[in-house]
Amino acid sequence: MEPKQHHTQQQQQSAPQHPDQHQNNAHLDPHSSQWQFGLFDCCGDMKACLLGCCLPCVLHGKTMQRMHDPSLQSHELLNHECMVWCCMPRTWLYNTATRTRIREKYGIEGDASSDFKTSYFCTCCALIQQDREVALRAGHYPPDPQGYQGQTQGMQMPRHSGVQDAQEHTGHRHHRQER
């Protein structure tokens, strides 16, 4: 075996394997007694993440609406639950009750104490986890995320640069004057 080939094989063998790198949703069980999404797995669903961090009332309203209407056919952006969230001075307390309701409805293990701590210390993360969990258990969690898909064909350079296109369009071209 040549030294270069041996070195390449060593690199491949020592390269850490990350099973979650190409994670799919095949491991998710909507009938499990455990939360299927981690509390700090917030960025797994960027739309929910942005709503949970920037407009938590909207995400809470959507989650609660999905519990009543899994298809979200009648979902309104600013629904009753969203308005209640906005009026609550201590949203973490309201979310504790919501989290307990979700756990009880779907048979997820836990207790009121853990619901309280999660809602108090990690309100945004709890909202995101709850939304993803309810969507999964209601049968409306998105299919496997595709992530970035590279181009199937090679890159192609544009025919002209923007400056050349503009010059041709206007008929103006700068010519060098010879001296």
Rounded CA separation 84/98 (Å): 12
**Percentage, residues of the chain above pLDDT 70:** 61
Instruction: Please indicate, yes or no, if residue 105 is contained in any of the structural domains.
Output: yes
Query: pLDDT of 99-152, one tens digit each?
Result: 999 999 999 999 999 999 999 999 999 999 999 999 998 887 764 444 444 555
pLDDT, average across residues 63-89: 80
Instruction: Please indicate, yes or no, if residue 7 is contained in any of the structural domains.
Output: no
Rounded CA separation 100/122 (Å): 15
Rounded CA separation 12/113 (Å): 46
Report which secondary-structure segment, H or E, holds 102.
helix 91-106
The total of structural domains in the chain comes to 1
Rounded CA separation 66/76 (Å): 11
Instruction: Please indicate, yes or no, if residue 56 is contained in any of the structural domains.
Output: yes
**Percentage, residues of the chain above pLDDT 90:** 39
How big, in percent rounded to 5, are the helix, strand and coil portions of the chain?
Answer: 55, 0, 45
Higher pLDDT, 162 or 49: 49
E strands present in 5-96: none
Mean pLDDT of the chain: 75
Closest to 52 measured CA to CA, from 65, 62, 67: 62
Rounded CA separation 88/126 (Å): 17
Instruction: Please indicate, yes or no, if residue 76 is contained in any of the structural domains.
Output: yes
pLDDT, average across residues 25-34: 76
pTM, whole model, 2 decimals? 0.62
Instruction: Please indicate, yes or no, if residue 176 is contained in any of the structural domains.
Output: no
Higher pLDDT, 155 or 31: 31
Range of the domain at 126: 34-137
Which pLDDT belongs to residue 147? Answer: 45
